[in-house]
Amino acid sequence: MRKHYRESIKKVEHALGDEADLLRTLKSVVGNAEFFGRVRGLREGLELYEYGLRIQEKNTEAFRSVMRFVVRCAEGLERDDLKKAISAQAICDYLDKEITRIEEQKTSSVNIRPPEKWGCKTWKEALQRKRSNVDKLLSDARSEALSQTYCTLMAWKTWGETGATKAAG
């Protein structure tokens, strides 16, 4: 892409030939466009960074775990299939399986349990006893995970990991 861009600039410069004023104007416009592009990219990067921090600070580990589950389920599914795949029951089953897996490994503490104030040991129990609370939490996590901003953040994360892998390899 950059190579094509540079070649196009060279062609236009060549076509302008002896038109010094137009050539100077073209170089100024190209320079400004590149500058504004960098500024816009930096601004978007900062906004995504701040958004990522807000997700980490304001949400629980369970909320973020639901978001990751939703994103994994969303890949390759249409809207109706997605609703079935990420039902409250499916999410609660997933969270309970993760709790069991973490407890069996004994390598870290379990941070994805239902909130203590609900008085539930499992997500299945929370779904039965605190259905509206669970639905609200899961709906918020689902909406956040499918938001354009979160998808953009995950795309930047993926691109960054790809670049780091190439640089290390």
Contacts of residue 9, Cβ cutoff 8 Å, sequence gap at least 6:
26, 30
pLDDT of 163 reads: 56
What ranges do the domains of the chain cover? 2-55, 61-168
Q: How far apart are CA 28 and CA 9, in angstroms?
A: 12
3-state secondary structure at position 104: helix
3-state secondary structure at position 5: helix
pLDDT of 161 reads: 66
pLDDT of 128 reads: 94
pTM of the model: 0.65
pLDDT of 79 reads: 63
Tell me: the pLDDT tens digits for 94-136? 999 999 998 898 878 888 899 989 999 999 999 999 999 999 9
Residue 28 half-sphere exposure toward CB, CA atoms < 13 A: 6
Q: What is the mean pLDDT of the chain?
A: 83
pLDDT band at 53 (very low <50, low <70, confident <90, very high): confident
Tell me: the pLDDT tens digits for 17-42? 888 888 888 888 888 888 888 888 88
Burial environment of residue 114 by CB neighbours within 10 A (0 to 12, 13 to 18, 19 or more) = buried
pLDDT band at 92 (very low <50, low <70, confident <90, very high): very high
pLDDT of 166 reads: 54
Q: How far apart are CA 71 and CA 69, in angstroms?
A: 5
Please indicate whether residue 52 or residue 97 has the higher confidence score (pLDDT): 97
pLDDT of 130 reads: 93
Token output for 56: 């980490």
Whether residue 168 has pLDDT greater than 70:
no
